[in-house]
Amino acid sequence: MGNDVLVLAEHRNGRLSDVTFELVGKARELADRGGGRVLAVLLGETSLAHELGVADVVLCSEDPAVATYNAQAYERAMVHVVERQQPRLVLTSTTTVGMDVSTALSVHWPAPLASYVVDVRRDGEDLAVTCRAYGGKLLAEVALTGPRAICAVIAGCFPAADGRSEVAGRSEVAGQVELLDLEGVFDGLGVSVAQVVEPEKGDVDITAADLLVSVGRGIGSRENLEVVQELADALGAPLAASRPLIDQGWLPKARQVGKSGLTVRPKVYLALGISGAPEHLEGMQHAETVIACNTDPKAPIFDVATYGTTVDLFDLTDELVKRVQE
């Protein structure tokens, strides 16, 4: 059994995602301690292989089946690769791609899987893993035993710089690039991609604003949006929201902050009635200053906020509007 650590690289619009570098950096650390190699699997965009110099080997495919993300094709390719490489550990993210692939690998390879991982360490023969659980209210300490394992890691938990070759002091071409032979792997696929729809550009660009007013489930009903919109208007700030409000159709998708929405880095992020689910925190934790208002003093948003208050959000909104309009 090897000590290799294998990473599934993710890319979008011709760029490797930050989480890929985070995973490659972590893989390097784990592989170096265990005397193994770092293998990266890059499907669809072979031209990006040179950016993965921190890996020892980049396994690529330009097969048309993986030209755009196809859940079943990715799954088949990854099962094919891990069965041949037999790594000690596979690292994916917890994005859509990571969820599809990590679960399927766990059944087909097979290997134990830990998801929502925020930390992974070697612990003798085992892996000691910390996972975020119950909406971020608890952490789970998990031991993955046996000769192999899979971890699906939350984006933003490890430094991306460790995986970037220019920073990590590795030559860009250090990694060996190998083309995968996937002959027959995609025969009889039951999934085909009919269309790729890019998100509509919104009327406002929430990623460009210095000040964002962002609302969550705590506002209760759609009618209450007006109150918060009034504050946003008074402050000259765009109104953003967390996932539940977007799913209800209360605000357009272009206003969504978080994992499946946009990542924002304003000078001030005013979070009203947002509890701070991990998926939301991923999109705003790098704001310069976060001011959070939530009636639950234990809401996870207060762990990333700079300033917090548990006063009623409508009382606060009224008071703020009064002061700003003065």
Partner 1 sequence: MRIVVAVKQIPDLVEELELTADGTDVDRELLKMVVNEFDDQALEEGLCLKEAGDAELVVVALDEPDVDQTLHAALAKGADAAIKLTGALTGWIDSHRRAALLASWLSGQSFDLVLTGVQAADDLDGQLPGLLGAQLEVPHISVAVRVEAEDGMAKVWQELAGGTVVVDEVRLPAVIGVQAARQAPRYVSISRIRQAQQSGGITEVEVQAAELGTEQFALRRLVAPEAAGHAEMLAGGAGEVADRIVELLRAKGLVRS
Positions in 39-58 near partner 1 (CB under 8 A)? none
Number of residues that bind partner 1 (CB under 8 A): 101
Per rule CB under 8 A, is residue 8 in the interface with partner 1?
Answer: no
Min separation Cβ 190 and partner 1, Å: 4
β-pair type (176-179, 57-61): parallel
286 binds partner 1 (CB under 8 A): no
In the complex, minimum distance from the CB of residue 114 to partner 1, in angstroms, rounded to a whole number: 7
In one-letter notation, the amino acid at residue 61 is S
Does position 205 bind partner 1 by CB under 8 A? no
CA distances from 240 to 65, 74, 120 (A): 37, 33, 33
Print the binding letters for residues 59-78 with partner 1: x by CB under 8 A, - otherwise.
Answer: ---------xxxxx--x---
| Shortest CB 86 distance to partner 1, Å | 16
Task: Pick one of 20, 106, 214, 242: the residue that binds partner 1 (CB under 8 A).
Answer: 106
Placement of tokens 């689910």 in the chain:
277
Binds partner 1 (CB under 8 A): choice among 7, 9, 10, 175: 10
- Would you say 113 or 240 has its CB closer to partner 1? 113
Contact track, partner 1, 125-164, x by CB under 8 A = ------xxxxxxxxxxxxxxxx--x--x------------
Torsion angle, CA of 227/230/235/238, rounded to 10 degrees?
90
Candidates 38, 104, 185, 232: give the one binding partner 1 (CB under 8 A).
Answer: 104
- Does 208 contact partner 1 by CB under 8 A? no
Q: Which of 64, 110, 159, 220 binds partner 1 (CB under 8 A)?
A: 110
Report CA dihedral (271, 274, 276, 278) to the nearest 10 degrees. Answer: -110
Q: Which of 4, 7, 8, 17 forms a contact with partner 1 (CB under 8 A)?
A: 17
Answer for which of 66, 113, 240, 241 binds partner 1 (CB under 8 A) is 113
**Does the protein bind partner 1 through residue 186 (CB under 8 A)?**
no
- Residues shown for the chain: 326
Residue 180 binds to partner 1 (criterion: CB under 8 A): no
CA distances (Å), origin 325, targets 50, 165, 200, 233, 318: 54, 51, 33, 10, 11
SS3 for 245-312 is HHHCCCCCHHHEECCCCECCCCCEEEEECCCCCHHHHHHHCCCCEEEEECCCCCCCHHHHCCEEECCC
Q: Rounded to whole angstroms, how far apart are CA atoms 56 and 30?
A: 13
Site for partner 1 in 258-277 (CB under 8 A): 259-262, 267-268, 270
Element (H, E) at 81: helix 71-85
**Shortest Cβ distance from residue 133 to partner 1 (Å)?**
6
Are 217 and 272 a contacting pair, CB within 8 Å? no
Distance between CA atoms of 236 and 243, rounded to whole angstroms? 23
Min CB(91)–partner 1 separation in Å: 14
Closer residue to partner 1, CB minimum distance, 128 or 167: 128
Q: What angle do CA 278, 206, 223 make, to 5 degrees?
A: 80
To partner 1, the closest distance from the beta carbon of 256 in angstroms equals 7
C-beta of 205 vs 312, nearer to partner 1:
312
Q: How far is it, in rounded angstroms, from Cα 111 to Cα 171?
A: 33
The Cα–Cα gap between 302 and 294 comes to: 9
Compute the least distance from the CB of residue 326 to partner 1, in Å. Answer: 9
**Min. distance of Cβ 88 from partner 1 in angstroms?**
13
